[in-house]
Amino acid sequence: MGDHAVVIPRSNSRAPGLHRVGWGRSLAVLVFSILVAVGALVTPAGAHAELDSTRPAAGSVAADGPQQVELTFTESVSVETDGVRVLDGAGRSVEVGPARARARSVTAPVREALADGGYVVAWRVVSADGHPIHGAFQFSVGQATAVDPSVAEEAFAASDRRDEILAAGFRAIAYLAVLMTAGMVLVGARLRREDEPSPVSPRLAIAATVGAVALVLQVPIRASLATGRGWGSVSEVGLLGRSLGDGMGPALAVTLLGLVLVAVTASLPFQGAVRVTALVGAVLAPLGFALTGHTRTMSPRLVGLVADLVHLAAAGVWFGGLMALVSVLARRRRAGDALGAGAAVAEFSGLAAGGLIAVAVTGMTMAVIEVGGPGAMTSTTYGRLLMAKVALVLVVAAGGGWNRLRLVPVLADHQAPAEGSDPRWNTLGRILRLEVVVLAVVLVITAVLVNVTPAVLSAERPGQTPSGTPGAVTSTSTTRPPDSSVGTAAQLGDGTVRVRLTPGRAGANSLEIELNGVDGTPDDRYEEVSVSFSLPSLDVGPIEARAEMTAPGRFRVEQADLAIAGTWTVSISVQPDRFTKVDADLTLEVGAS
């Protein structure tokens, strides 16, 4: 963007390279950019949270049907009471109790006995950063039985693909409208002379209104993706509040307030309270984007929040400011004020340089947090999109460099040929139009990136399918092969205990523990469980292990070192009350690595 320090010769003629860059052309470019970029980028994939494991395991075959379904995610999630559904091979819904979320785990009791055959579990949750995600997996009872994938697609009534595309499109429109509005007001006010009209034109007020509508329309789409019950679900009691949770409500309020403050000042004399109102609105409008999304889960959060706020402000100055410059140039050159037009270009050149530095520094800061390392840049969807964004920004910066090195020396010369006869004016006009187009596409990519799993998380879990763009659909629950775990069950007090060891081979293993009451539902009396491993045949152990609670009655041991193949004994001990202790010993066959 950089330096456009051009001193334009005085002339009453209108330079062909610049006067055509008006609002109609700019808006057409923006709409075209949205359609092309969104259509190319939107594919079903993961948002921030991802499914880590399930019980029953994806693709597994059980002798008996499960008494409950359990899903474990990579971060905390929330779920609607009907957010977990089980269907048989014919698409019939199995009776499932209300789903409950606790930290990273979601559980739902299965309230009817399952006949032999294949089943699908379809689920929907909202991750900690506010992104609705959904997916499905299959398991079998009795014998392995495949289920048509369409069964999972029909588990919920909503048209997810439609909602995903619309959500991405509305986000892109909102980003373009908000940053254009903010930048045109802030930079327009800086470049404006007292005898010139307000930078808040009726057309800019329309753009602000379009941005506000795009923001509001995301609320019912968000509700539909979270519940699977369509846009109308937003009117259900309590759901609107939940849809505006995770920071979305305050973020929406801040941005809408900013847009309204700008829009109400349209065409009014730009002075006094009107000027202050418009400038306050321009500052507020982009800030809402930093109050929700990935910044809520960045670490350190304060650094991520500040970097995002500065990044948004600088982007607004760069993108909207460029459009404000084009408007000022056209107006002053129509009035024959070539020197005034040149002064505006020189003034904006300094602002653009500062904006470029701010965008680069804050962008690198957030990249370190969200990407983690160079390898993740090429191995994850987030990293690849970020590289595309950086490459396009460099194209814009190159345009500014070209102007300074090749055009300024000639066009700044008062003895240069008249505007209409010098082809360099056409070149300058094309570069300005290119910058508008490329920055519009950069903002569309940004609107996609905010709903893509950060590369640092995707790279940490290389076995998972890489995440991509909005409206996450996770089609499998775990990367472990279905036959790579061993499990068993035993009586424990008046209830039962089930354990499953993964991968069930010599080396590091994880152990999942289910404690159920007499009715088969999770026994939530226990907050702690003692676990130890021993290999009696070789007199190994007992090896004590630490079990972490993942849900009521559910515990998990990570990285249990069972280095030798053989028949291991797992000892489970719990205390139903302070005076009672109950134990169970279970045996598991650990295979060779």
User: Could you write out the DSSP letters of every residue in 395-424?
Assistant: HHHHHHHHIIIIIHHHHT-TTSPPGGG-TH
Query: Residue 235 gets which letter from DSSP?
Result: G
533 within 8 A of 513, measured Cβ to Cβ: no
The pLDDT of residue 280 is 95
**What is the C-alpha to C-alpha distance for residues 306 and 16, in angstroms, rounded to an integer?**
42
Other CB atoms closer than 10 Å to residue 499's CB: what's the count?
A: 21
Using CA atoms, how far apart are residues 190 and 317, in angstroms rounded to an integer? 11
pLDDT at 297: 55
- Please say whether the dihedral angle defined by the alpha carbons of residues 133, 458, 173 and 240, taken in this order, is positive or negative: positive
How high is the pLDDT of residue 206? Answer: 94
Task: Kindly state the tokens that stand for 430.
Answer: 């094309």
The residue extents of the domains of the chain are 51-158, 486-590
Could you tell me how far CA 536 lies from the centroid of its own chain?
50
Strand 473-474 and strand 93-94: the pairing is unpaired
How are strands ordered across the β-sheet holding 100-102? 51-55, 68-73, 105-109, 100-102
**Rounded CA gap, 421 and 577, in Å?**
93
pLDDT of the residue at 302 = 73
Same fold, 51-158 and 486-590: yes
Residues 6+ apart with CB under 8 A from 391: none
pLDDT computed for residue 48 by the predictor: 59
Q: Is 516 helix (H, G, I), strand (E, B) or coil?
A: strand
Q: How far is CA 348 from CA 197, 419, 430, 470, 503, in A?
A: 18, 21, 18, 35, 61
Please give the pLDDT value at position 270. 94
Q: What is the rounded distance in angstroms from the CA atom of residue 182 to the CA atom of residue 95?
A: 52
Looking at residue 265, its pLDDT comes to: 95
CA atoms of 285 and 312, how far apart (whole Å): 10
| Tokens linked to 283 | 């500052």
- For residue 190, give the amino acid letter: R
* Tens-level pLDDT at each residue, the chain (593 residues): 433 333 333 333 333 334 333 444 544 444 444 444 444 444 443 445 678 788 888 778 888 888 999 998 877 888 888 889 999 988 888 999 999 988 888 999 999 889 999 999 989 888 876 778 888 888 889 888 888 877 877 778 666 778 878 888 888 899 889 999 999 999 999 999 988 999 999 999 999 999 999 999 988 888 877 777 777 777 775 666 666 766 678 888 999 999 999 999 998 999 999 999 999 999 999 988 877 765 555 556 677 677 778 878 888 888 888 888 888 877 877 777 767 776 777 777 778 777 778 877 877 776 666 665 566 666 666 777 778 878 887 887 777 667 655 654 454 444 444 444 446 555 666 777 778 788 888 877 877 776 665 544 444 443 333 333 233 333 333 333 334 678 888 888 778 888 888 888 877 888 888 888 877 778 888 888 888 888 887 777 778 888 888 888 889 888 787 777 788 888 888 877 666 678 888 888 887 76
Side-chain half-sphere exposure of 563, counting CA atoms within 13 A: 4
Tell me, what's the pLDDT at 378?
A: 67
What per-residue confidence (pLDDT) applies to 578?
A: 65
Position 299 scores a pLDDT of: 59
In this prediction, residue 43 carries a pLDDT of 41
Task: Break the chain down into helix, strand, coil percent, rounded to 5.
Answer: 45, 20, 30
In three-state secondary structure terms, 246 is coil
CB 317 within 8 A of CB 305: no
Predicted pLDDT of residue 473: 31
Non-local (6+) Cβ contacts of 477 within 8 A are 51, 53, 54, 57, 58, 71, 121, 135, 137
Fold classification of 51-158 (topology level): Immunoglobulin-like (2.60.40)
Neighbours of 62 (CB within 10 A): 15
Among 575, 593, 571, smallest CA distance to 509 is for 593
What pLDDT score does 451 carry?
64
| Residue/partner pairs of 89-92 with CB below 8 Å, 24 or more apart | 89/117, 89/118, 89/119, 89/145, 89/147, 89/148, 89/151, 91/151, 91/154
Q: Does domain 486-590 have CATH number 2.60.40.1930?
A: yes
User: Tokens at residue 444, please?
Assistant: 């569309």
Helix (H, G, I), strand (E, B) or coil at 512: strand
Tokens representing 259? 């847009």
Cβ neighbours for 430, distance < 8 A, ≥ 6 positions apart: 17
pLDDT of residue 188: 92
